[in-house]
């Protein structure tokens, strides 16, 4: 499951998911492998697009990414 799918299933109404939905064509979709590399890559993507992703979104991403890792590792 990708981070995008995790967010869509678990946090439909979150501010971050709302913006991710509007950016769904460009938002990076990770695979199940190399998760250590994907976290920084997605975080960097959020930071490179401040016109879409506010600092609060990056903060939420950090929390949700840790939850996502725990979910995937089960």
pLDDT digits (tens, 9 = 90+) for 23-51: 999 999 888 778 888 999 999 999 999 99
Q: What is the pLDDT of residue 35?
A: 83
Could you tell me the pTM of the whole model? 0.90
Q: Report in angstroms the alpha-carbon separations of 47 from 13, 29, 69.
A: 21, 16, 20
Q: What is the pLDDT of residue 34?
A: 80
CB count within 10 Å of CB 6 equals 19
Answer whether residue 63 shows pLDDT above 80.
Answer: yes
SS3 state at 6:
helix
């Amino acid at each position: 499951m990708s981070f995008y799918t995790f967010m869509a299933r678990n946090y439909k109404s979150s501010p971050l998911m709302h913006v991710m939905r509007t950016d769904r064509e460009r938002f990076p979709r990770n695979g199940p492998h190399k998760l250590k590399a994907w976290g920084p890559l997605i975080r960097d993507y959020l930071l490179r697009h401040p016109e879409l992703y506010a600092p609060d979104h990056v903060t939420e991403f950090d929390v949700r990414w840790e939850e996502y890792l725990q979910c995937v590792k089960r």
